[in-house]
Amino acid sequence: MSEWSVYMLRCGDGSFYTGIATNVSRRIAEHEQGKRGAKYLRGRGPFQLVYERAVGDRSVATRIEYRIKQLPKVDKENLQRLPARIDELLNELLEPI
């Protein structure tokens, strides 16, 4: 079973894209080629990887991806604070009920 990672890209237009993958570098290459990449990213290059973290299984990766997408843009732009903020989100998700 592959370990899933969550990643965030800054697009050429200044927007952010968050995704999940088992191989982030391969997935970014797919985005850059435009064939198997996300429609949102078409024409928005070049891309800069601003965050990547292995999170475990696909279920956790999907849930943390959703939570990151809900963050305000100002939180995403604060790249020094972003890893700690995502750690907080992960801890909330993984806490026993």
Preceding peptide of 46 cis, ω within 30°: yes
How far is it, in rounded angstroms, from Cα 37 to Cα 27? 7
Say what the pLDDT of residue 36 is.
84
Write out the two tokens for 87.
Answer: 């750690």
Say what the pLDDT of residue 7 is.
97
15-65 tens-digit pLDDT? 999 999 999 999 999 999 887 888 899 889 899 999 999 998 999 999 999
Say what the pLDDT of residue 94 is.
79
How far is it, in rounded angstroms, from Cα 9 to Cα 7? 7
Instruction: With CA atoms as reference, report the closest residue to 46 among 10, 95, 1.
Output: 10
Higher pLDDT, 2 or 28: 28
Q: With 70 as the cut, is the pLDDT of residue 1 above it?
A: no
Say what the pLDDT of residue 96 is.
64
Domains of the chain: 4-94 (3.40.1440)
